[in-house]
Structure formats: structure tokens, C-alpha cells
Structure 1
Amino acid sequence: MAAVRGWDAFAAVEAEVRAMVEDPRWQGLPTPARGQALCAMTLVTPDGGRWLFGAHARWYLHDPVDGRWHLAAPPRGCETRRPAHRAQPPAPLPHLLPGPADFTGLYGSTQAFIGPDVHPDLTEEVRVLLRAMGRKSETDFPLSAFAEVFADDVPGTVAAIWGTIMWCAHAPAFDGNERLITIFGEYLRHPLPGDEWVRWLSTPPLTDLAALYAERVRADAPRSALRLLALMADTAQILAADARFSPRATALLAMLEPALARPGLDDAAAREDDLAVRQAWLSRCPPRFGRWLLRETDRGTDFRHTVYDLVEALAFTTDPPRAAASFLTDLPGAGERLHTWLDHRVRHAYTDLTRHVAAYGENTEPDGFAVPAFLWDGPTGGWPNRATAPATARGVVVAPPDRESAASVLGAAYASALAWCGLVGAEVPADGFAGARAIVRRLVHERDDH
């Protein structure tokens, strides 16, 4: 195959693979045959990288050292070619082969909730729901979860709405004035983490939502338990209108609707424990939502997907893998532990950057944002004397061209940091992460809440 522009080649292969997988005969083929058919569509980039389009409708890069296929966002705009048959890399493992469900799921958005606001109509619907549910009795709806967030006299109905919002959010970093968050102000036990610009929040486990329901079942209050399920479903239905919530909101609806249609469906699981309820919910979720449930089922793969999103969000830079590695240096307790989770392009960039961070430290911006020295360039920061900085230490300019791009980078960077903390059990800093805070600087002067 003659060399073609990268975007055309990658897009063409994606279309070919989709057509092949949607053919009814695909699932009937033996696994080795499907692997070989997929390998026949491998693309090769000028740097020798071999790319395969597979599971979750995403690209994988072959590592010539360890021989594995790693999740990796492909380069755009470079020439590619199809390799000769004799040069084909090993076939992918069965779990990397795509199925029809991989092409029917929602894609959502990586944007954080800073810059583009949540639509006022959506916020108003949640506010009306919250106002009605905030009047419920804390005796009838105790805080069996989220007690660290809300005051003692707050009913679990408020926690159910809050927990649904946080669980469905792709990257729960919110503008400090975002009404979807401020409407909870009167119920909070403590101020939310962050500052006047941003609330850096964490994603709760699905077990916390299950606990609100399961506690009521064990207390022999089935009507209250059903009310909580309906409230979570109502909230998810509202949130599904925003792409930053929609994939997980739709997945949550798929898990809850069977229990709403058949009251008592999960009662046996609830009497066992909260984890049994969580497992019952996950078992009902259609395969097309599998990618969006990885933070519940496979934290390592979930982290790899968030890094993929981060590289894609940084496509406007001159070197997206290196720009992504800049943000990954924020991750607590990473170092060499991080290497196994990255494709070799991002891994090599991360190694270079961390070596020079140790040698040169950080640069603190005049307004107080601590920014990694390699992340910014030009008048907003960077090396004191960039001309004399080592070549490997010279960073990639991260200057999003518009508000939407900046929000996408911020969300992808924060989601990857949360995924890493969940993977290794690290604490999420109350003031966020340096790279994400630096992106906030690009957005605070373009806020929507006039």
C-alpha cells in the first residue's frame, strides 16, 4: 500500500474494521483467524510504530521491546503504510479483538466543568429535585454513605443525588461558581476541596450508591429503598443530556431500571452486603458500556484509557505524547511504577522529563500556580534561559487554541490523575495537580457564569 496521510489512513482502517466486525460472520470465526484478519490492517508510521485498531474501538501500539500491544492514541497527519505480510507483528491477544458492542457505546466528552458551564436547564431540573428531596427525614433516609460530605441532619436522598452526579462525571473538577455544585451548599459538612476558582472533587465508588439502597433493604424499609433507586435513576436521566455525564449516566440507568421494574430484584444481594449489590448492578450493564465501567472493574486498564484520552486531547501540540508525559509527572508515587502502564512513546518522554525535573525543579508562576518547568514556554513561564536548557528537558508548548480544547485537556489530565490515585491507593491533593491547575489559568478569564 502506498504511503498516505495519517488521518486518512487511520480513519480508513477504523471504517474497515468496523465493517468487518459488524459482519454477522465475524463472531463465528476462530480467534486466531480474527487476530490474523486484524493484523492484516496494521499500519506502520515513519518511526517504525505498528498500529492496530481493536477492542473498545481504540488503537494499540506494538512495543518492540516487550512484544505487547499497548493502548495508545495514534498520531495524526503523518504518513503511514501497510507493512508487507512477512513483517506482520504477532497477533493480538483475544481480549484485544473488537466485538460489535465496541462500536455501539457512547463516546462522551473529556471536558471538565470549568469553562463551558452545565446548561442552566439541566441545573434547574437537578435543583428542583434536590429541593424536594432535601425535605425528607434523615430517619427515613439515613446517611449510610457520603457522611463525610454532608451534615448529620441531611437525608440520604440528598446524598443519592450528589453521589449520582459525582459517579457519572468523567472528570469532577468544577468551577467554584458552578450552580450544579453550589446548590448543595446548605447541606455540606465542610467546604469542598479546592479554592475560589475550582472544586477538585473525587469520584465515589459504585459501592457508595449501592450502600444507600442496601441499608434500607436491611432495615426492612423496601419503599424507601425503591425511592432511592428511583432518585438515582431520575438524576442520571437528567445528567444524560450533558456529554460529560452521558456515558456513565446511561450505564447507571441500564443497571437500575431492571430493579425499578421488578421491586425486590436486588433484595437478596442487599441482605448479603453492599458489594453484592454492586456486583448485581454491574452484571446487568450491557457490554457496550464496558469501557465506562473499567474504574469499577479494572483500574489498570482504566488508567491506560485516561492516558489515551489525554494524548488525544493534546493533539494540537507538536508532540502529544511528550505533552501528556508532562502532566503525568504530577502523579503521586509514580516513578518507575508508572512505566508498565504506558506505551513506549509516552514512557520514554516521561523518563526524560522526570530526570530533568529532578535536576531543575519547578517554576512558580507569578500568580502562585506551581507549574512544572517543562510544561509551559514563552511569556507565561518555562525555563529561565530556555536556550541553554538541555534538549531533552525542553517541553512542549501547551497552549489550547480555545476554551473547549482547554476544558478537554483539563478534564483528561484530572481524570488520568484520579485514575492513577485509584490504581495505587494514593490520596488526591485537596488543591488538585500542578498541570491541571495551570490549565485552569487559561480558563478563569473566560468563565461563562456572567
Structure 2
Amino acid sequence: MTAVRPWDAFTATEAEVRTMVADPRWQGLSVADRAHVLAARVLVTPDGDRWLFGAHARWHLHDPADGRWHLAPPPRSVRARQVGHPSAVLPEAVIPHGYDFHAEPGSTQAFVGPDVSESLTERLRVLLRAGGRKSELDYPLTAFDEIFASDVPGTVAAVWGTIMWCAYAPAFDGNERLITVFGEYLRRSLPGDEWVRWLPAPPLRDLVTLVAERLRAGRSREALRLAATMADAAQILMSDTRFRPRALALLTMVEPMLRRPGLDAAHEDDEAMRRAWLERCPSRLCRALLPENDPGAHFSHTVYDLVEALAFMPDPQRAAAAFLADLSDSKGVLPGRLDHRLRLAYGELERAGLTGTSANEATQPDGFPVQAALAPPVLEVMPPDRDGAAAVLGAAYATGLAWGRLTGAKVPQSGLAGQVALVRKMVHERDDSHTRHT
């Protein structure tokens, strides 16, 4: 006789809420009515934790200390039951609008492990070569000049910037061809080592600057060529789920300019154009733009992704806290941004003196990084397979970048300790040519 799987309250409630939000009548409900139907579906686990499936199609955990709701993936293996919760105390931020349930699916995996497909890489190589033949006098390097040599045209920077902006977590195999094709244009070696290149995630403003400068110079044709290069690169990146959500968002921002030349000519500065681009992006892609519009929420989402990627661990919160312990937090604000379970696990590491390890990084006078002194391992993380390892690595790196954007804390160019330790377990698989993401 086939065993019957036990009823999963979290899965059942999630399906029920998704059905309600997808119903056209949801848009006609007031915020109070939406809160009422959601409050009736709050779940409680045996430890007393209360869970709500709400905004952004994600779970929220109630903090009994101050009543806040934190983004947090639920313990699906734990029994839960529905309880009544006062709808009046549900903050509007946890109540779905509807469009936030239509986020483009993506992947948290880094580019260490599963390779970028050969077809995607070849198409970008062709685009890059065409851009590299342009004159730097017509396309000056007004952004990304810390990456490329001074005689490199902005068209090359437009391809690079698109790749890095669209990537969920731009940590790449040291021999990833998608990165090595830029070798002849680089000003110096990229951060990282032969195993992993820990690359920065640029703000949208860097891409905007390339276009805006040409418009201010009266070179509208060159401005359109740069925008078209970004659109072409984003279109190619759409075939890999690690790029897709942000690539789609970038396309929606850039393509109106290509259809209506002169659309952005009236914007006097980079920030005005940046705001105009962001306003063009439809609401359904809002999560892809959180790094630009709401760095705090973006950090919370990356922590959610990290805990979810660590679901294979006996204690995902403790494992996630070990990665969070690498972040520099001189002002002590990190614990206040965590749910009470994560906060407890992080506090144990803090009391043991195992937090803030990234603050130990030093830099030589010429700007090249010195390997950070690694803190002793606080937890052995052993993902079940290469895809799982890439997901943990990507989510952890994305969390570090999000924390840096939120607080100004620098991510070590040699990588954060927990991520470096994980890389050492998977470097022998870095040349694998899986095509799962194509």
C-alpha cells in the first residue's frame, strides 16, 4: 500500500492564498477586508510561532517581542494549525497587492558550479566584439572606469554593466568564459582568485550614466546605441534564470527609449534619468528593483533566500546565522533586522566572538586585496549536491552585497569567510558543463 503523505498546512495555506489573490475580486477588496481573510489563515506551530503567507508571495513570521512581521521561510516539516489573529494589527506591508504575486521566477545560484551555457556566452561574445570595435572618443568610459582600461569604449562597459546588474549574485568561476572574454579590456585583474571572482553589483545609476552623458553631449545617436547594447545583452541573458528577473526589468526600462528616441532627452542629470527608468518598470517586477528602491527590504529578501537555500540543514536558522556572522556590523544594527529565531542564533555567535569577521580585511596601498583572516568555522555546511551548493553560495553572496548596499559595509574582495569555505568544497566541480539554467 502506498504511504500517504501527511497534510502540510503550510503548502495548503499557500495554495489557498494564491488562489484568492489571483481572483479578480481581490483587487476590489479594501485593505481591511484583505487583512481579515489573511488573518483567518495565520498558522501556529507547536513552539508558538505564528506564520502568515502574504506580500510578495512569501511567508512572514510574527515577532512576539514587538509584534513585527519578518520575512522568513517556514519549517515545512513541522505540524501547524490555523488560528485566529486580529486583522486590525496586520501591517499593510504584509498584505498582498496582487501584482507582487507575479514576480518573475529566478534562481539564487551563483555562477560557481553550473556553468553559463555556451550558446548564451557565444551570443554575448559576438555583442562584446562588436562593441569593442567602437571608438572610445565616441563612447567615452563614463562609468566602470575602475574595471576597464582608459581606451576601452563605453559599449564594452554597457555589456559588462548589464551582466553584473542583472546577475542575482555575481560570483563567477575564475575560468567562466562569460567573464574571461572581457580579459583584453580589463584595467587590472578582477577581485577574487583563480577559483572565484567576487564581483560587485553595480547600481542602476552606472548604466544610466553611460547613456545620460552622451545625451548631455548632444550625441543622441551614441546614447541610443548604448541603450540598444544594454537591451541586446539583457535579451540574451533572459535565457538563464540567474539573470532573468532583472534582465526583464532592465528591458522594460530601456526599450521605451529605443521606440521613442528623445524620450529621455529632457532629463538634466543622471538621477532624473534613473528615476524615469525605474518608473517605467511595471509593478509586477517590483522585487527585481528592490536593490534600487528599498535596500532594507532587499536585504530581508536575500536573508529569506539564504535560509531557504539552507533548508537541507538540520537547523537552517543556525546555518544562516553562521553566514550572517561574516558581515561587518560595527553599529550593531544587524540583529534588529532579523526574525527572533535568527536573532537568537546570531546572538549565540556574537557572544562567542564569532561575528563581524569581514571587518578584518586589509588592503595594500596599491588597492589590491589581502586575504582576510578567516574566522574558525562555526558550522559545517554540506549541501547535498552541486546545485544546492551553488544556491547557498549565491544567496550568501547576494546577502553580503545587499548588506553593503544598505549599510555601506564593504564586502571583502577576497570573499567572505563562510563563502570561501564552501567554495573549497566545490572547486573540483567548477568546470562542469550542466545546462540546467538554459
Measure the CA separation in 2 of the matches of 1:233 and 1:109. 21
Q: Which residue of 1 aligns with 2:281?
A: 285
Secondary structure at the aligned position of 1:337 is classed as coil
Counterparts of 1:200 and 1:433, CA distance in 2: 9
The Cα of 1:93 is off from its aligned counterpart by 1.4
Amino acid at match of 1:78: V
Alignment correspondent of 1:214: 212
CA distance in 1, matches of 2:57, 2:163: 26
Task: Report the Cα distance in structure 1 between the residues aligned to 2:70 and 2:354, rounded to whole angstroms.
Answer: 28
Greater displacement, 113-122 / 336-345: 336-345
- Looking at structure 2, the residues matched to 27 and 426 of structure 1 have their Cα atoms a distance apart, in angstroms, of 40
Structure 2 counterpart SS, 1:82: strand
> Separation in 1 of the partners of 2:38 and 2:330?
34
The match for 2:265 is 267
Identity within the alignment, %:
63
Unmatched runs of 5 consecutive residues or more in structure 1: 363-367, 377-397
Matching of residue 370 in structure 1 with residue 374 in structure 2: yes
Equivalent in the alignment of 1:384: none
Match of 1:390?
none
Q: What TM-score does the superposition give when structure 1 sets the normalisation length?
A: 0.89
The separation in 2 between residues aligned to 1:329 and 1:415, in whole angstroms, is 15
Q: Matches of 1:444 and 1:358 in 2, distance apart?
A: 26
> Match of 1:196, as an amino acid?
E
Instruction: Give the Cα–Cα distance (whole angstroms) in 1 for the partners of residues 72 and 6 of structure 2.
Output: 15
Aligned counterpart for 1:337 among listed residues 307, 313, 333: 333
Q: Does the 8 A contact of 1:372 with 1:435 survive in 2?
A: no
SS of alignment partner, residue 267 of structure 1: coil
Cα distance change, pair 9–372 in 1 and its aligned pair in 2 (3 A): farther
Q: Deviations over 1:168-206 (max 9, x none)?
A: 000000000000000000000010000110100110000
The match for 1:18 is 18
CA distance in 2, matches of 1:299, 1:174: 23
Q: Describe how 1:233-244 pairs up with structure 2 within 5 A.
A: 233-244=231-242
- Rounded Cα–Cα distance in structure 2 between residues aligned with 1:152 and 1:232: 20
Structure 1 residues 325 and 6: CA distance shift in structure 2, 3 A: farther
User: Which residue does the alignment assign to 1:253?
Assistant: 251
Q: How far apart, in 2, do the equivalents of 1:264 and 1:340 lie? A: 46
**Residue aligning to 1:31:** 31
**Structure 1 residues 357 and 310: CA distance shift in structure 2, 3 A:** same
Contact 2:35 2:87 (8 Å CA) reproduced: no
Cα distance in 1 between the residues matched to 2:204 and 2:114: 27
Q: Relative contact order: is structure 1 or structure 2 higher (C-alpha 8 Å, sep ≥ 6)?
A: 2
Residue 65 (structure 1) aligned with residue 65 (structure 2)? yes
CA distance in 1, matches of 2:242, 2:70: 26
| Aligned-residue offset at 1:349 | 0.4
Closer, same or farther in 2 for the Cα pair 1:320/1:262, shift >3 Å?
same
| Alignment of structure 1 residues 367-406 onto 2, 5 Å | 370=374, 372-376=376-380, 398-406=381-389
User: Following superposition of structure 1 onto structure 2, how do residues 131-210 of structure 1 map, counting pairs within 5 Å?
Assistant: 131-210=129-208
Q: For structure 2, list consecutive stretches of 5 or more residues without a partner in the other structure.
A: 359-371, 434-438
- The normalised TM-score by structure 2 is 0.92
Partner of 1:389: none
Q: Distance in 1 between matches of 2:319 and 2:86?
A: 30
Matched position secondary structure for 1:442: helix
- Any idea what SS the aligned residue of 2:334 has? helix
Contact 2:224 2:261 in 1 (8 A): yes
Instruction: Give me the whole-angstrom Cα distance separating, in 2, the residues matched to 1:283 and 1:443.
Output: 41
**2:323 is the alignment partner of 1:327:** yes
Q: Which whole-Å deviations, capped at 9, do the CAs of 1:124-153 have from their partners, x for residues lacking one? A: 000011011101000000001111110010
1:276 aligns with 2:272: yes
